[in-house]
Amino acid sequence: MRRPVCAAVVSAGLILVAIPARAHHSFAMFDMTKRVTLAGTVTAFEWTNPHAYIELDVTDEKGATKHWSIELGSPSILMQGGWKFKDLKYGDKVTMVVSPLKSGESGALLSSITMPDGRVLGNGPLPPGGRQ
Amino acid sequence: MQALRPAVSRLAAVSWLVLLSASVSGQSTPDFTGVWAPYRGGRGADAALAAPPATPLVLKPEYAVPFETRRKTEAEAAARGEPIASGAVACVPYGVPRMMSVALYPIEILPTAGQITIVAEAFSEVRRIYLNKPQLPIDDVPPGYYGHSVGHWENGTLVVDTVGIKTAVPAYQNMPHSVRMRITERLRLVTADILHDQITIDDPVVLEKPVTYTLAYRRMPGYEMVEFVCDNNREFIDEKGGTHLRVRER
């Protein structure tokens, strides 16, 4: 039984999003002015470099399932924000806020996530002194 | 040209002796050993410890025009959501000097006898600084990502000279550079736990004048460096050089 889905663009204005600092590529692929809330089921959690990924199935009110690939920072950056490699597994139910790809494909950059145990994690830490 | 070689050799030998005498004169050398994370300015940071502003980047006109044109193209591609890929998108390492500051990733400084080794967590890069040795002529260093670095101590400051960086390796603000580029770094402790690396890039071919910028680091006691092997790179580069994310269907 998959969790009912909530996938909505909550704002199209300029929003400051806590994002990992750029190391591998520009974040211009993603529309950082948008934040979309996704609630779904984890199909894979890849703790890898240069990025970690969450693969997510999101089912809408009519029962249709859409698959999303969510990009995170690297393990190092995530660990600085409190993540562990075994924080997620297949079948976990999560809710996350993401910035979607400008291309319209179902890929996005993680902003924050509510974990199965209720913890809320970001996509890496804020550096001392605030955002870069 | 051949007649100059003995004189050049004598000069190199004298330089080496000067450096050697400085190293054994009893000057104290601070201990940089350990892991250091970038210390950024901004909210909550101590302005007195943050890096000072950089000097202007002034390219010679024949390089400034294409540089600005490239920046405009990059801005347009970014607005489309197809940012122009750098080498890092293909997991090519940054090299010197960019490896010294990659996002929030720390560096680890490992002094040993006659050498200081610096390991960057991002892309697991390694550079070696040979202490109290004369620098090689630029033309004798095969251009690469890390070039050839020599260093010596001056009143508690580690002065590092690097040459031999290939032109494809990114430098400050992705400025163009030639193989004549010379990088001078001055690393010093601002406090016991704050390190500054003042970097001066000189390139008589490309720059009107040298550019100087500073990186600031904070000590990270007890931090264990994390491995970084780029084995799940989902970004790909299109025929125009734009970056894309490979999205999975399931």
Convert the pLDDT of each residue in A23-66 to its tens digit.
Answer: 777 888 999 999 999 999 999 999 999 999 999 999 999 999 99
CA–CA min distance A132, chain B (Å): 7
pLDDT beyond 60 at A129: no
CB contact under 8 Å between A129 and B41, yes or no, is yes
Strand partners, B186: B159, B198
User: Scanning every residue of chain A, which has its alpha carbon at the shortest distance from the alpha carbon of B228?
Assistant: A49
- Specify the CATH number for B29-245; select among 3.60.21.10, 3.90.1640.10, 2.40.128.20, 3.30.750.80: 2.40.128.20
Percent of all residues in chain A with a pLDDT value above 70, rounded to a whole number: 78
The CATH classification number of A8-15+29-122 equals: 2.40.50.140
List the domain boundaries for chain B: 29-245
CA dist B145 and B126 (Å) reads 10
Q: How confident is the model at residue A18 (pLDDT cuts 50, 70, 90)?
A: very low
Q: Please, what is the average pLDDT of chain A? A: 83
Convert the pLDDT of each residue in A80-89 to its tens digit.
899 999 999 9
User: Scanning every residue of chain B, which has its alpha carbon at the shortest distance from the alpha carbon of A29?
Assistant: B81
CA dist A29 and A7 (Å) reads 20
- DSSP letter (8 states) at residue B74: H
Residue B109 burial (CB count, 10 A): 19
Q: What is the pTM of this model?
A: 0.84
CB contact under 8 Å between B81 and A75, yes or no, is no
* Residue with tokens 């799940």, as numbered in its chain: B232
Q: Is the ipTM of this complex over 0.85?
A: no
Q: Please, what is the average pLDDT of chain B? A: 89
- The per-residue pLDDT for B15 is 45
B149 neighbors B167 (Cβ within 8 angstroms): no
String of DSSP letters for B131-165: ET-PPPPGGGS--BSS-EEEEEEETTEEEEEEE-B
Residue among B113, B99, B79, B114 at smallest CA distance from B242: B79
pLDDT beyond 80 at A90: yes
CA–CA min distance B81, chain A (Å): 4
CA dist B201 and B185 (Å) reads 9
The residue with greater pLDDT, B65 or B250, is B65
CB contact under 8 Å between A129 and B45, yes or no, is yes
Convert the pLDDT of each residue in B129-176 to its tens digit.
999 999 999 999 999 999 999 999 999 999 999 999 999 999 999 999
CA dist B128 and B151 (Å) reads 10
User: Residues near A5 by Cβ (< 8 Å), separated by ≥ 6?
Assistant: A38, A39, A40, A58, A59, A60, A61
Which residues in chain A are closer than 8 Å to B102, comparing Cβ atoms?
23
CB contact under 8 Å between A129 and B43, yes or no, is yes
List the domain boundaries for chain A: 8-15+29-122
The residue among B218, B234, B247, B249 with the most chain A CBs within 10 A of its CB, best to mutate, is B247
- The per-residue pLDDT for A132 is 33
- The B residues from 176 to 205 touching A (CB cutoff 8 Å) are none
CA dist B178 and B204 (Å) reads 9
